[in-house]
Structure 1
C-alpha cells in the first residue's frame, strides 16, 4: 500500500502584529534632505510639521534644473574632456550606424523602417520633461551607470489617498547599476515607505517624491538618498508587463508560495513554471499573500526583481527581430530618456550576460516603526552605506544569497543563486530550485526541522512535518524519475546520512523529492 505524504507548511513566520514592532525613534532619518526645488517659493509651500502627512498635496513642477550650481547631479554640473574618449565615441557611432542598417533590414523598406523607428522613439520619449533631463547625469559611453526604474499602475483604481489631481505615487522604486563592460547588473529595490527628509516638505515617505515633483524630483531624491548620480530613468506602467511577457513567449520563474490574492489579480500555484503575462503581473503585484510572513512590500519587491531578471534574460537571448518587437511593445508602456538606438546598443553590449551569476539584487535595509499612526521604514544607515560601497566597487550588494526560510523567496542575490554554494570542504554544489517534503519518521525531536534547514541551504523550498510512523530505521531521499538521481544524491550528501531511492510506487508525494528521516539520523547529531 502506498504511503501518502501530504504537504504541510514549514518555517517560522514573523508576527505582523503591532506589538512586535520596534519602539518609535523619530530622530532617525534616511538622509539629509534634498535641495529645494527652485520653483518652491513660487508655489508658496509652507513648512510642514515635523512629521508631515504621508499623503501630501501634489505640487506642480519638478526637480532642480540643470542650471542650478548647487545641484551636483545636474547635467550642466559636469564637464568632460570629449577628446579623451574620441575613440570610444567613434566605436559607439559605428555600432549605432550598424544597428540602424540592421533595423532597416529587419523592418523592411527604408521608409517603413524609419517610420516605425520614429513611432517607437516617440512613444519612449513621450512625457519626458526638460526638468527630468536636467536632473540626470552625463555618462561616458560604455562606462557603468546608475538608472532609476519607477513602476506605476496608472490604469488601475488606486488605493485611498494615492491619487492627487491625477498624480500617482510610484508603486515600485528600483535603483539599477548597469555595468556593460563586465556584463553585470545590480538591482536595489527601495522600500516605498522609507522615511526621507525632503527639506521644506518635511519627513516624507520615499514614494511621495513622485506626486511632489514627478520623475525629476524623484531622480533628485534617490540620487541624494544613495549618494550616486543617476544617468538614465525609465517609468513603467506594470500593466505593460502582460503584453511584454506574452510577446517573448512567457518567462520561467520559481513562484515561492501559492498566491491567492484578489488585490493582485488572482491565483498562482507555487513552484517552477512558465508564466504568461497575466500571471507575471499577479506575481509582480502580490503583497498581501505574504503579509503573514513579514513585510508584504519586501516580498513583492523581491518577486518584481525576479520577474525583471527573467524578462531581461530572455530578451538578451533573443534575436534582433524579437528584441525590436519587445522594445516596440515596451514603448507603449515605458517613458524613458533613452533613445531606441541607445536601448538596442545597450542590449547588444549586454548579450551573453549570465543572469544567475551576474544579476545582483537586494532591498534597502530598513526597520519598521509606527509613528503618529503611520507605518514608516527607517533606514539602517551603516548597513546602507556598506551596501552602496560594495555596489560602487562592482561587487554584489550582499556577501551571499538571502533566502527567506518560511517561503523560499530569494530576498537578495550575490551571484550564486542558481549557480553554486560552497560546502565545508571547499567544494561547490549547484544551487537548486524546486520543492522537498521532509517527514520525521523517528522520535528524535527537531530532526525534521534540522534536515529541512540543511536542504534549504541548497536552494530548495522545504516543508517539514511528522511521518505516518516513528519507526523508520533508515533515512531515505525518494525521487520519481531516474533523471533526478544526481540531485537526490546531493540531498543525501547535504544531510550526511541516508541513501537515494527511486520510488517504486510505495510513496505518494506531490513535491519534487520526499525525505523520510530514520533512526540513523542520530549519527549526525
Structure 2
C-alpha cells in the first residue's frame, strides 16, 4: 500500500493542480437592488431587481443560466471570444434552451463603455478584473439584457479540438456547401476551408472550422452552426460513460477549460443534461432583434431593438424580461457633470472622468468631495431629468443603479460657476499623468477643492465616488486601445490554389448511414 501510495502521489498532485485550473472561484456579480428599465411610456425608470433573477444556491432543482465561451488565445494581444452562448436549464421539467449572442452585438461594458460584446472578455482577461474575461462578460450580459448568468464554462480552441476527438468526432448535417477563402490561418494569414452539403463526420479540427467559419454566410449562420456543433457534441457524449474517466479528462483539459461551477455541481449538471430529451432542447438567437449599425468613424455593430430582444429573452428564460439596455440608448452627452472624489485614492475622479469623456460626455468637471475618505458608497444625484444618462454613467463607472438619487428640483444652468464667472473656475486644465500602471500616460483632470452646495446645484449630475467605485488605473488595456488593436489585427491574405482545393487532412468525411 505504501509503495502504491508513493507511486500514485505525483499523479494525484497533477490531477489536483489540473482541478485548480479548471474549477475557479465563483464570479462576483454587480450587486444592486435597482435596475434601469423602460416603463410602458418608454421612459427610463428604476425598478427593483426581480426576485426570480436572484442567484440561487443551486440545489439541483432551480433553473440555471450558464454562459458558454469559446476563446481564442492569440500569440500576442488580448484573447477574444468567437462563441457566446447562454444555456438555460430547467432540471425539474427536463428542458433546456440555448441562446446565441453574436459577437458584434452593441453593449455597454461596465467600467469601460460601449463596444461589441466580445470586447468584454478581452478587456476583462487582459486587465485581470474580478472573474477575468468570463466575469466581465457575465456582468455585461446582466447589465444589458437583465437576465442572471449564474455560472460560466469556457474552453479555448485547442481544448475544443481535443474534446471532439475524445468523444470520437461528431455528425453534423451541412445544409449547403460552405466555402470560406478567408478563414484565419497561422501567423495572421488566410486559408481555405470547404464543407460539402449533407451529413458529415467531423474530427476536432474540422468541427472547430465548421463552428468558426463565417465569410461564406455571415455571423448569423455561424451562430446557428455553433449551436448545431454543441448539440452534436452533446448527442455524441450522452452515449459514452465518461464519469469513470473524469480523472483522466481533468488532467487532459486542465489547461484549456475553466468554470466557476463547483466540481460536484458540474457532475450533477452533466447528469441532468444527459437526462434532457433532445426534442426538449430549444434553440434561440438574438439575431431577429438586431440590426446593422455603421456610423461614420464608428465600428460596425449589431444594435438591439430592445422590445424584440425582451420578447426573445423572456421566452428563453421562461419569465418576463425588461432589458436594462433599453434605458441606456439615449443619454444626453452635453449635460454638465461633476465628479467628486470621496475616497482617499488620489486622482480617482480624474481617471473616471477620462472614461466618461472617452465615451462621449463633453462637459465633465472633477473636484475633491467634502469629507473625502468618509464615503463608503458612491452616490449619484440626478437633476438632469434624464435617468437614462445617469443609468449609463453607473455602468461606465462600474457601480449599481441603486446609487442614483433623482432630485425633483432641476439643475439651474445659469447658476453654474462655470457659466456666470462669479465663482471659482471649475473647468481646470487637464494634466498629463500616468494611469497608475506605468504603461500609459493620459490627460487627466486634476482634483481641486470641494464646491459648496450652491455651486454643486449648477450641475445636472453630481457623482460622489465612494470606496465601491472601481479604479480605471488597474486597466492596462483601455477601451480605445483595444479598439485600435482590433482594427490593426486583420489577417493577411495568402495565395490559394485554384478551385475548391483544401488540405486533405482537414477534409470532412461522409458520416456513417448518412
Q: What is the TM-score when the length of structure 1 is the normalising length?
A: 0.47
